[in-house]
Each structure stands twice: as structure tokens, then as C-alpha cells.
């Protein structure tokens, strides 16, 4: 694509020549000939050898190369990156892969030592990388990418354009037991399913447990970072973002468009209502309903309240000193009587 | 099993006909013909097509299908589930598995691409699923299930009826170093062992490090969730429950029947006494002794004290206002003199 | 090595006979003939069958076996352990390994089911254990050990004498998205690299993401525990220690010789200056600069301040009672007017 075509593709406003060919995206500092970069604010501009820049709409400096003015330069950059670097077609089914005869596999790429179980159905243009384990009766939609050494247990259903990063485990048994007096625990049946809808990305070494009896479900477009733990029967809505190392306990519901920080812990049967934002390391008690807005701390409270409370704790020393002063004054008043 | 046989099996009290065959367990909402479900309290009853229900002993509503009254319906349900869905015998040793000639393997199922090292001894009815790595000199007891892509390092000893979920790592080196001035760290030897006793379950992507010099040990019937980290030389007793993403530092002891929440952090050389319950996200300082009872917060304190302290912090605003009012009164008293 | 040679090797001062051969390191309690153990303080001495002990320089008890006095007995012990137990040469390339024809592999040991991609370059004496996945264009330096089922994505560069424990994932995509209004998220390009310098150890199931556009880098001699998460574009200096389950967000910098506890969370673009020590479970806000010294809590504060604040919160009950008493005194004064 040349610069002019890119301007049209992102709906931007081109200043300068449109004929230079763009081959790659890059950051400002490392950009070279053929690269496009971006700045979110005019003041972020530093020396660059980029062939073209996305800039914000109010950018008005004269540069020795073309710029494309857009409302959201970072978004335009991400969109062009996907266009310039489409997922490579591999067109190989490695001879070592073990695919059950009853499986229906249309995948474009199956790596070395992949195993695919009985009756599983794998869509078109799917990539399953080396060492990934796909169980029995698994469904995987078109254009999905399963990175090396992922494990998908039996009966899981995974949508289209999903990405599972290396070591992710989908559909392990949930953590459910019933105490039987002194003899210990009896395992509660963990025989439900997992459904991952389209356009979900799940990070490396993250875990999503199957439902105990029902299902665990992730809605379309949801983004999960590395080392996240999702317990049995959790339901996560569409376009939810969950940062690394967060853990969600059984049967909790996270509605559409929530944003959850890293290392957050949620008790079971909580409900995070659509549009809630929860800060990193926060703790949500079991059964808690978290309303839209920004939440922080353990147990979670509205960010404003959290800040006020922190300020009050910080102010304790002053409070103590004031109290001491009052004591002195009262002692004087009493003595003067 | 028919309903009457199930009633006998769980020691329950049957109301209604006992001849219907039960094939599966299910939750209330999805139960169909041939399914048994349960309710923990009478008020949890909703419309269901189950063929039979476990109900609490005080349940007295008349239903159009048989019910079995038991002391603990959830426990009865879990016990019947295990009876109705015994672990499947697979009876296959995949041609791709690489098993050392010196290994003694009686296992019932060895999946594709499994590797088993020198002198390892694998018991009867064991299942080792695809891509699992069993090192040298490993012992695995009867009826144990190792899910795909688990890694068991050399010399680990794993009991009978143990379950390791996908991606679990047993016996990696502990995290021990000695600082050698400006030149950095020298690795402390990590040459001990791991012993996992019978009936332990370990969640997906959890890690249990080998002892540095001695052993790391898990007692019988202990239940470990996903993404738990157990450091070198930790000793965990029998029937301990540890929820997801908890981390236990080196040489800490957790005695029998403790219950540990998710995302708990424990420093090294701590001691959790039998019967202690530690809430999620709590922090136990190194060397701390935690007595029986319920503990919460960082650093952990008894739950009652934690709640009182939280209430006091919440009450700070009122305290401040009261102080302000007193100031005013004193100023008035002083002025009136 | 005999006792006299060991004394010379560690620069220690031998008391007793020097001719006994030492074959192994051991802890005090389990030591037997041929074993060397250590005590850090004279009062730690208990009954032992060790053939020799490292002891501190001020140790002066008479023992029935030789002792070697050194400044740091634990360090001497670790140094001798490495000498007595050199990494075993395996000298095997398993027939099942799939190695791209374009890869340049000098490794000493390649386990079963290993895969190595196009144009990768693996140094001398490297061990790559069963099921490990090495992508395309990966560089691995001499004497490095990659444990089973690790995944190294394309283009990563790993130094010499590095150890990756089982299940570690190096170079997965970072977690970066741009919101595109109601339609959800567009993936920000994650096309940078990871560089792991010499003598780094990374724990089991830890994850290190590639840079989004630039690189993620670990300096020489850095030690990372299990289940640690390092996001895109993080730069970690030399001889840094990070304990288990800590998470570091994008573009954060941790300078040389920092020590970071377990379960710490760091926001993005933070900067931890050389020599800072951060306690377990601490939280570092995005953009925060943490200076040398000991830090604790969320958000992090100097340890002294953290302790003072905790003490103040603990003292709230007394503060409340004092205020109550003052109220009473003022009411009396007012009534007496």
C-alpha cells in the first residue's frame, strides 16, 4: 500500500506526497524507509526516519515527509499493521501430527507433534502449532490460531478468529469438592463445557475451567492476558478486557465492556455490571455486585472513596497531634476552674 | 443403578417409586429423563425434568417424581456422580510414546508423544495423556491421571489416585541463590525430591518445586487449584485445600485440614496450624505461626479483628468531624473565660 | 575432591584432616559419609554424620570431623555443590526431534519430540528437553538448558548458561489493543523481540512477552521464579531477583540489583531504580519511580512509613476512646459554667 491508499483505508487526511510505498509499521525511533509510525500527541514527535506518520487532527507542524491526520493515530496504526502483516498462510500438515480418523480437520497448518482427538471439527485457515493438544469432540472455528503446547480438553467449543497463546489450558476440571467429614473431600462432578466465542484472545499459560455441570463462556471480542485463571461456570461478556494474573472464582458473571486490571481476585457468584472498571490488585468479595464506574482496593470500593480513605489514613498522624493539643487545652481549662 | 439402589448407596430415605434407571447427574435446569439432580435447601427447588432429586432431610413437598432425603444432598450427588461416571479405561499405548527400556510401566493408557524416562515405575490403571513428560526415576501409583503436557521432573514420587491437570509442573528447581558480592548470584543446590501422597489433585499450570536438599511433600487427599505455586521444602498436610493463584514460599508448613483461599501469599518458614482458614488475597509474613480460626488481610489477622479495623478506618471521617466539633467547643470555652 | 582441595577452592581455613573424599552436598540431618554440609551460625549445629562442614569464621567448637571456616558458609556450599555436580553431558539427539534443515544446531542434547524452527541457531553444550518448542530465527547461546515443554516464540534471542524451567513461555504477544468504539478492540501490533542475556534463570510456567515494536530485555545474571509475568517492552537489568507470581506491566524498567518479592504487581511505565527492594504483594502504580531502599504495601511506600501507618491504624481504637473521654470532659466543663 502506498501512503495515499493508507490515508483512504483509515479515513484520514493526507498532508504531503502519497506515492511512497509502506511495507511495515514501526516505532518512531527505529523507523526506516518504508515504515509508517504514529504519534498520539504533537509533543511526542522526536527525530524519525519513518516514511510517513499518523498524527492527531490538530497536528500542524511542517515535516519533510507525508503525515496522515486521523482522530485516533494509535487505532489507525493498529489497523494498518493488521493490513500490512496478515496472518501467514502455512499450508502444511506435519507428518508427525496424530489426528483421529473421525476428526474433521480443514486447518491450514498443523504443526509437529500436534494431537487431535475423536470427532473434533477444525475449521478453515486454522493454525494449530507444535505440541498443541486438542481433545475429543472439540469444535474450532475458522481462522483461529492455537499456539504451541496449548491444551484444549474434550468437548470445548472455540469460535472463529480466536488466538490461544502458548501453554493456555482450556477446559480443565473446575475446583469443586464436598467435604465428607473426617475422611476428606469427594470431587464434585466437573462435566460441563467451555464455550469461547469469536475474536477472543487468551494469553500464555492462562486457564479456563469447564463448567461443573453447565458451561463456562467468553463473549465475542474479549481479551484475556497471560496467567489469568477463570473458574468453572464463569460467564464473561463481550469486549471484556482482563489483565494478567487475575483470578475469577466460580459462577461469577462479568458483563460486556468491563475492564479488569491485573492481579484482581474475584470471589464466587459475584456480578460485575456492564461498564465497570476494576483496578489492579483489587478484591471482589463473593456475591458482590459491582456497578458501572471505577473501583479499587480490597474489598473494592469506588475509586473516589478509596482515595479519600487513603488520604484519611495518611492524615492520622495529624489527627493524633490535634487530639493531643486538645487534651492539653482541656487540662488547662480544667485547672483554671 | 435405579433410584432404589442409589438410595441405598448413599444411605438415604426414598420417597416415591424406586425403579427408574438413573444414567447421569445433572443440574436442575438441564436435567432430563434418566438424570438425577440435587437441591441443598427446599427453597432452591425450581422446575426440573430430573428423574430423581437428592433433597435435604427436612424436605416435605410432594413431587411428581421420586426424591431421596439425605443429610448432605450435594455430597450424595458427588458420590453418585463418581459411581455413574467411573474413569474410563482406555487400554492403549500410543505408538508414538517414547518409553525408556528400563522403565516399568503398567499403565492402562499412554497418549501420543508421551515420554517416560529411565527406571521410572508407573502403576496399574494409570492414564498419562498426550505430551506429558515423565522424567527418570519417577514413581507413579495406581489409578493416577496425568493430563496433557504435564511435566514431572526426575525422582518425583506420586501416589495413587492422584490427578495432575494440564500443564502442571512437578519437581522443578526451587528458587534459591546466594549472593556473591558484585558478581551476582550463585545457585544454591536444588537436588531434593517431591512426594505427592495418594488422592491429591493438582490444578492446571500449577507448580510444585523439588526440595533444595530435602523434600517437598503433599499429604493425602489435598486439593490444589490452578496456577498455585509451591516452593521448595514446603510441607503440606492431609486434606488441605488451596485455591487458585496462591503462592507458598520455601520451607513453610501447612498442617492437616487447612483451607487456603485464592491469591494468598505466604512467606518462607511460616507455619499454618491444623484447622486454620485463610481468606483470599491474604499475606502471611515469613516465620509467622497462624493458629486455628479464620484469618484475613495482609499481614493476616483474625477475621473479627480485620473487620473491626476496617470499620474503624471507615469511621475515620466521623472521628475527624467529632474532633473538629470539640475544637470549636473548646475555643468557645476558652473565649468565655 | 578431598577436604583439603575444597578448602583451597573456596579460600577457607581447614581445621582437621584434609584427606577425606567428598562426593556430595547434603543438609546436616541427612548427611552421610562422603557428604559436606554447612551451618551459617555456630548455634545451628545439630547432630550430623557429615564428613566435613563449612562453618563461619568465628566457629571454635572441637568436632570429630574436619571443618572449613569461611566468611559465607552458604556461598561456599553452593559453590562446591556446582563443582561436585556439574551439568551432565547427555550427548543425544532423539530420533523423534523435528529440526528444520536451515537450523544450525550444535546442542549436546535434544530430547524426544522437540521441535526447532527455520534458521534457528543453537550453541554448544545446550540441552533442549522433551517437548520444548523453539520457533524460527531463535538464537540460543552455549550451555543453556531448556526444560521440557518450554515454548520459545520466533525471533527470541537467549544467551549462554540460561536455564528455562518447564512450561516457561518466551516471546508470546504482549497485551495491547486499541478500542475502536462500540465494535471492540483492534490488536496493536506485537512484532518486537525478546532478549535474554547470559546467566539468567526463569522459573516454571513463567511468561515473558515480546516487545510490541521494540524489545523486552533481561540483563545478565537475573533470577526469575515460577509463574512470573513480564509484559512487552519491559527492561530488567542485571542481577535482578524476582520471586514467584509477580507481574510487571508494559514498558516498566527494573534497574540492576533490585530485589522484588512474590506476588508484586507493577503498573506500566514504572521505573524501579537500582538497589530498590520491594516486599511481597506490593503494588507499584503506573509511572511511579521507586528509589533505592525497602518498599512495601499498595501503593508502595518506604517500609518505615508503611510500618508507622500500620501502627497508626492499629492505634485507632485508642484514639477513638481518647476522643470519647475528651467529649465527656468538655461536656462537664460546659455544664459547670
Quick one: pLDDT at residue A92?
A: 92
Quick one: pLDDT at residue A237?
A: 98
Q: Could you report the per-residue pLDDT of B218-242, keeping only the tens digit for each?
A: 999 999 999 999 999 999 999 999 9
Distance CA A159, CA A177 (A): 30
Q: Which of A27, A113, A221 sits opposite C113 (nearest CB)?
A: A113
Min Cα separation B183/chain A (Å): 32
Superfamily of domain C92-303: Hexapeptide repeat proteins (2.160.10.10)
What percent of chain C is predicted at pLDDT more than 90?
88
pLDDT band at B72 (very low <50, low <70, confident <90, very high): very high
Cβ of B78 within 8 Å of Cβ of A326? The answer is no
Among B224, B218, B253, CA closest to B238? B218
The verdict on C113 touching A (C-beta cutoff 8 Å) is yes
Q: Which of A85, A225, A244 sits opposite C191 (nearest CB)?
A: A85
The size of the A-B interface in CB pairs under 8 A is: 177
Q: Residue C288: pLDDT above 80?
A: yes
B58 vs C90: which has the higher pLDDT: B58
Cβ of C203 within 8 Å of Cβ of B207? The answer is yes
Cβ of A214 within 8 Å of Cβ of B323? The answer is no
Which residues in chain A are closer than 8 Å to B228, comparing Cβ atoms? none
Cβ of A323 within 8 Å of Cβ of B320? The answer is no
Among B100, B199, B206, B107, CA closest to B152? B206
Q: Could you report the per-residue pLDDT of C121-130, keeping only the tens digit for each?
A: 999 999 999 9
pLDDT band at B259 (very low <50, low <70, confident <90, very high): very high
Q: Residue ranges of the alpha helices (H) in chain A?
A: 3-10, 73-84, 303-314, 316-336
The verdict on A190 touching C (C-beta cutoff 8 Å) is no
A180 contacts A162 by C-beta, under 8 angstroms? no
Q: Could you report the per-residue pLDDT of B187-218, keeping only the tens digit for each?
A: 999 999 999 999 999 999 999 999 999 999 99
Q: Residue B88: pLDDT above 80?
A: no
pLDDT band at B90 (very low <50, low <70, confident <90, very high): confident
Which residues in chain B are closer than 8 Å to C94, comparing Cβ atoms? 98
Min Cα separation A138/chain B (Å): 15
How many residues are present in chain A?
Answer: 337
pLDDT (average), residues B313-320: 88
Quick one: pLDDT at residue C59?
A: 94
DSSP B157-182: EE-TT-EE-TT-EEEEPP--EEE-GG
Bridge pairing between strands A13-15 and A67-70: antiparallel
Q: Give yes or no for a cis peptide into A299 (omega within 30° of 0).
A: yes
Min Cα separation C205/chain A (Å): 7
Q: Could you report the per-residue pLDDT of A110-168, keeping only the tens digit for each?
A: 999 999 999 999 999 999 999 999 999 999 999 999 999 999 999 999 999 999 999 99
Cβ of B166 within 8 Å of Cβ of A312? The answer is no
Task: Enumerate residues 6+ apart whose C-beta is below 8 A from A321.
Answer: none
Catalytic residue among B129, B147, B165, B232, which?
B232
B208 contacts B202 by C-beta, under 8 angstroms? yes
Q: What are phi and psi of A304, to 5 degrees?
A: -60, -45
Q: What are phi and psi of A274, to 5 degrees?
A: -50, 130
Judged by CB atoms within 8 Å, which residues 216-245 of C form the interface with A?
227, 229, 231, 245
Which residues in chain B are closer than 8 Å to A268, comparing Cβ atoms? none
The verdict on A335 touching B (C-beta cutoff 8 Å) is no
- Which range scores top for mean pLDDT: B86-90, C217-221, C320-324? C217-221
Which residues in chain A are closer than 8 Å to C330, comparing Cβ atoms? 330
Quick one: pLDDT at residue A238?
A: 98
pLDDT (average), residues C77-88: 88
Task: Enumerate residues 6+ apart whose C-beta is below 8 A from B126.
Answer: B106, B107, B108, B109, B140, B141, B142, B143, B144, B145, B146
Distance CA A114, CA A101 (A): 14
Give Dmax (Cα) for chain A. 101
The verdict on C111 touching B (C-beta cutoff 8 Å) is yes
Cell 478509596 belongs to residue? A306
Distance CA A115, CA C209 (A): 26
Superfamily of domain C3-84: MurE/MurF, N-terminal domain (3.40.1390.10)
Quick one: pLDDT at residue A272?
A: 98
Lowest mean pLDDT among B42-46, B68-72, C248-252, C318-322: C318-322
pLDDT (average), residues C300-323: 91
Which chains share 3+ C-beta pairs under 8 angstroms with A?
B, C
Cβ of C333 within 8 Å of Cβ of B333? The answer is yes
Q: Residue C336: pLDDT above 90?
A: no
A102 vs C320: which has the higher pLDDT: A102
Which residues in chain C are closer than 8 Å to A243, comparing Cβ atoms? 175, 249
Q: Establish whether C232 is a catalytic residue.
A: yes
Among A280, A177, A295, A290, CA closest to A228? A280
Judged by CB atoms within 8 Å, which residues 20-49 of C form the interface with B?
25-27, 29-30
Quick one: pLDDT at residue A91?
A: 85
The verdict on A309 touching B (C-beta cutoff 8 Å) is yes
Q: Which of C26, C205, C280 sits opposite B169 (nearest CB)?
A: C205
Which residues in chain A are closer than 8 Å to B241, comparing Cβ atoms? 177, 185
Cβ of B30 within 8 Å of Cβ of A214? The answer is yes
Enumerate residue ranges in chain A where pLDDT < 50: none
Catalytic residue among A94, A147, A232, A269, which?
A232
The verdict on C311 touching A (C-beta cutoff 8 Å) is no
The size of the B-C interface in CB pairs under 8 A is: 177
Among C319, C320, B336, B326, CA closest to A330? B326
Cβ of B225 within 8 Å of Cβ of A175? The answer is yes
Distance CA A258, CA A316 (A): 35
Q: Which of B25, B75, B262 sits opposite A189 (nearest CB)?
A: B25
First and final C-alpha spacing in chain C: 92
How many residues are present in chain C?
Answer: 337
Superfamily of domain A92-304: Hexapeptide repeat proteins (2.160.10.10)
Interface test mutation site (partner A, options B22, B78, B115, B242, max chain A beta carbons within 10 A): B78
Cβ of A113 within 8 Å of Cβ of B111? The answer is no
Quick one: pLDDT at residue C334?
A: 82
Q: Which of B115, B283, B336 sits opposite C281 (nearest CB)?
A: B283
C99 contacts C30 by C-beta, under 8 angstroms? no
Task: Enumerate residues 6+ apart whose C-beta is below 8 A from C50.
Answer: C26, C28, C31, C32, C35, C36, C37, C65
The verdict on B151 touching C (C-beta cutoff 8 Å) is yes
Q: What are phi and psi of A74, to 5 degrees?
A: -65, -40
Lowest mean pLDDT among C111-120, C203-212, C226-235, C302-311: C302-311
Q: Which of A85, A166, A238 sits opposite C151 (nearest CB)?
A: A166
Distance CA C299, CA C230 (A): 19
Tell me the sheet residues that pair with A208.
A170, A230
Q: Could you report the per-residue pLDDT of A249-276, keeping only the tens digit for each?
A: 999 999 999 999 999 999 999 999 999 9
Q: Could you report the per-residue pLDDT of C113-168, keeping only the tens digit for each?
A: 999 999 999 999 999 999 999 999 999 999 999 999 999 999 999 999 999 999 99
Q: Could you report the per-residue pLDDT of B130-149, keeping only the tens digit for each?
A: 999 999 999 999 999 999 99
Quick one: pLDDT at residue C19?
A: 95
Task: Enumerate residues 6+ apart whose C-beta is below 8 A from B43.
Answer: none
Q: Which of C131, C178, C330 sits opposite A74 (nearest CB)?
A: C178
Q: Residue C203: pLDDT above 80?
A: yes
Cβ of B165 within 8 Å of Cβ of A175? The answer is no
Where exactly are the structural domains of chain A?
3-84, 92-304, 308-336
Cβ of A245 within 8 Å of Cβ of B245? The answer is yes
CA C228 to chain centre: 9
Amino acid at each position: 500500500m502506498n501512503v495515499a491508499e493508507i490515508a483512504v483505508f483509515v479515513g484520514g487526511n493526507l498532508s504531503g506526497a502519497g506515492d511512497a510505498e509502506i511495507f511495515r509499521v514501526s516505532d518512531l525511533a527505529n523507523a526506516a524507509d518504508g515504515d509508517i509510525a504514529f504519534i498520539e500527541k504533537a509533543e511526542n514527535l522526536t527525530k524519525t526516519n519513518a516514511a510517513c506518520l499518523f498524527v492527531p487532527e490538530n497536528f500542524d507542524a511542517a515535516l519533510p515527509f507525508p503525515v496522515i491526520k486521523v482522530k485516533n493515530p494509535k487505532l489507525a496504526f493498529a489497523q494498518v499493521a493488521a493490513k500490512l502483516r496478515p496472518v501467514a498462510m502455512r499450508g502444511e500438515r506435519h507428518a508427525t501430527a496424530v489426528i483421529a480418523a473421525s476428526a474433521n480437520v480443514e486447518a491450514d497448518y498443523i504443526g509437529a507433534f500436534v494431537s487431535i482427538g475423536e470427532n473434533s471439527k477444525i475449521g478453515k485457515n486454522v493454525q494449530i502449532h507444535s505440541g498443541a493438544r486438542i481433545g475429543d469432540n472439540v469444535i474450532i472455528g475458522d481462522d483461529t490460531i492455537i499456539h504451541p503446547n496449548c491444551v484444549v480438553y474434550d468437548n470445548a467449543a472455540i469460535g472463529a478468529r480466536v488466538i490461544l497463546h502458548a501453554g493456555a489450558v482450556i477446559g480443565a476440571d473446575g475446583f469443586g469438592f464436598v467435604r465428607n467429614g473426617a475422611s476428606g473431600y469427594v470431587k464434585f462432578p466437573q462435566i460441563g463445557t467451555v464455550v469461547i466465542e469469536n475474536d477472543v484472545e487468551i494469553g500464555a499459560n492462562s486457564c479456563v475451567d469447564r463448567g461443573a455441570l453447565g458451561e463456562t463462556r467468553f463473549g465475542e471480542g474479549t481479551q484475556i492476558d497471560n496467567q489469568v485463571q477463570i473458574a468453572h461456570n464463569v460467564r464473561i461478556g463481550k469486549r471484556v478486557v482482563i489483565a494478567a494474573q487475575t483470578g475469577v472464582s466460580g459462577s461469577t458473571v462479568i458483563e460486556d465492556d468491563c475492564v479488569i486490571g491485573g492481579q484482581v481476585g474475584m470471589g464466587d457468584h459475584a456480578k460485575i455490571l456492564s461498564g465497570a472498571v476494576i483496578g489492579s490488585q483489587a478484591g471482589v468479595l463473593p456475591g458482590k455486585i459491582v456497578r458501572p464506574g471505577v473501583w479499587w482496593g480490597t474489598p473494592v470500593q469506588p475509586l473516589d472513596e478509596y482515595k479519600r480513605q487513603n488520604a484519611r489514613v495518611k492524615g492520622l498522624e495529624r489527627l493524633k497531634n490535634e487530639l493531643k493539643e486538645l487534651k492539653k487545652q482541656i487540662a488547662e481549662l480544667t485547672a483554671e476552674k
